[in-house]
Amino acid sequence: MNFEQVSGYKYRIPRTGKMRTDAVFYASEEILKDLAAENYASLRQICNVATLTGIVEPALTMPDIHWGYGFPIGGVAAFDPDEGGVVSPGGVGFDINCGVRLLTAPLGREDIARRSKELADALYGAVPSGVGSVRKDVRFGRKDLRQIMERGPEWLVGRGYGREEDLEYIESRGRLPDADPDHVSDRAYERGLKQLGTLGSGNHFLEVQYVDEIYDEEAAGAYGLSEGQVTVLIHTGSRGLGHQVCQEYVELFLEAAPEYGIELVDRQLAAAPIESPEGRAYLGAMSAAANFAFANRQLITHFTREAFESAGLGDGLRVLYDLAHNNAKFEEHGGRKVLVHRKGATRAFGPGNPEVPARYRSAGQPVLVPGDMGRYSFVLAGTEGSMRETFGSSAHGAGRKLSRKKAKKAAKGRNIIREMERLGILVRAASRATVDEEMSEAYKDAAGVVEATHAAGIGRKVARLRPLIVVKG
């Protein structure tokens, strides 16, 4: 793999072959070793992305880069609709708007310690998790689901599932305007009806945490964070509805691409012109699924508040921020409107940007970087550097190091739940196998990703969060 170091953590892969632009990636020495160990498979993927029509230079990956479907995880690419730019479902992913929401509580770590078991049980009972998990206590009909896909969490708040102020602290207020439920199939509707308000499986989780360290007092003050404070991090997405949307449009785009003269160096990069009927249909369905995901995290927030109250800890949880990891959005960068794909990457708008809530505008947009269940997660802030270099994007998490199969093999003969308890972390999960798959050793150290992000200037460290209670999907 031919690449050159541009600066401390920034590398460039020069345009070659069918690439239409250079590719840029951000990495530390440790991350470079990980890339070499995978034979640079994810770097080859971002080079493939650079071959797509209408791409705006450069194709990018964030420091949490690893192999994904079509685009690498951590991939960012912008396309100009006026230059024949395309939209690719592989550049968004199967879990459309998989994302995270951070809540803060007017509580300290010692308050949780007194009621940790009661709270852990209450949360596990309040938020269904695991493969195929469904809600039985809240019923929504097809007309309700249509409203949710069009309006996102705003519709839920209007029916008592949250507070008006919650909406101010959700990316795009939880509503992508191009949503069109008419382009969502009946099968996707069916899968979504019972899954609103559930975590699902895989790496999705709900964690009660506390602020372990503050790196930037000014930004932490703007965000309302203080050392020792309790937080809750919710990580989930659009569940089966989003997966169905992606699957169906990948198949449609594989048929459509040749009709538009789009050469695919990888079938997983199936694409159609943004302005084509197929492209517009996907964007309508993708936006509807994204709004569903924002609403999913909203409903989980409602039941998390109820769990805290039932455990005698009050209902004072405030939404600090909610943001997407897997989306395609129209934004203005470099004086032109482009469609930015973020796949396992997150928006990271800098100080002063009108898209950032007024309360946070001096600091920049909160960037939430979840780690693994045994170590820590981080809060960062968007920077001028991210706006200048990465289309306002940053890293989204630690990234897996071991496959689920290898993780279960490594956990054989161990009791991971007991090990977590010895670290002061209570775990609730659908099965022991789930916990084994999600053991800390299965993930890269999020601190390494965050250090590279901070040093590269595409995100600024604000605070570190340590887990106390983990509910795993």
Binding site as annotated, residues: 95, 203-207, 235, 325-326, 370-373, 377, 396-399, 472
Residue ranges with strand state E in 98-226: 99-108, 205-214
User: Do residues 200 and 473 lie in contact, with contact meaning Cβ atoms separated by under 8 Å?
Assistant: yes
Spell out a b/e string for 207-219, using b for 16 or more CB atoms within 10 Å of the CB, else e. bbbbbeebbbeeb
At what angle are helices 277-310 and 142-151 packed, to 10 degrees?
Answer: 100
Coil/strand/helix, residue 83? helix
Binding site for GMP: residue ranges?
203-207, 325-326, 370-373, 377, 396-399, 472
Residue owning tokens 């650079």: 50
At what angle are helices 142-151 and 186-193 packed, to 10 degrees?
Answer: 90
Round to whole Å and give the CA distance between 285 and 245.
7
Binding site for Mn(2+): residue ranges?
95, 204, 235, 325
Query: Angle at the Cα of 365 (from 359 to 367), degrees rounded to 5?
Result: 130
SS (HEC) of 259-314: HCCCCCCCHHHCCEECCCHHHHHHHHHHHHHHHHHHHHHHHHHHHHHHHHHHCCCC
Round to whole Å and give the CA distance between 428 and 121.
8
Q: For 72, which DSSP code? A: P
- Give the closest residue to 327 by CA, choosing from 146, 82, 75: 75
Neighbours of 59 (CB within 10 A): 30
Distance of CA 337 to the CA centre of its chain: 23
Please give the structure tokens belonging to residue 66: 């690893």
Q: For 5, which DSSP code? A: E
Question: Active-site residue 396, yes or no?
Answer: yes
**Residue 75 bridge partners (DSSP):** 61, 343
Within 8 A by CB and 6+ apart from 355, the residues are: 172, 349, 365
Round to whole Å and give the CA distance between 431 and 256.
42
Neighbours of 335 (CB within 10 A): 5
- Which member of 183, 243, 396, 454 is catalytic? 396
Q: What are phi and psi of 256, to 5 degrees?
A: -80, -35
Catalytic residue numbers, as ranges: 396
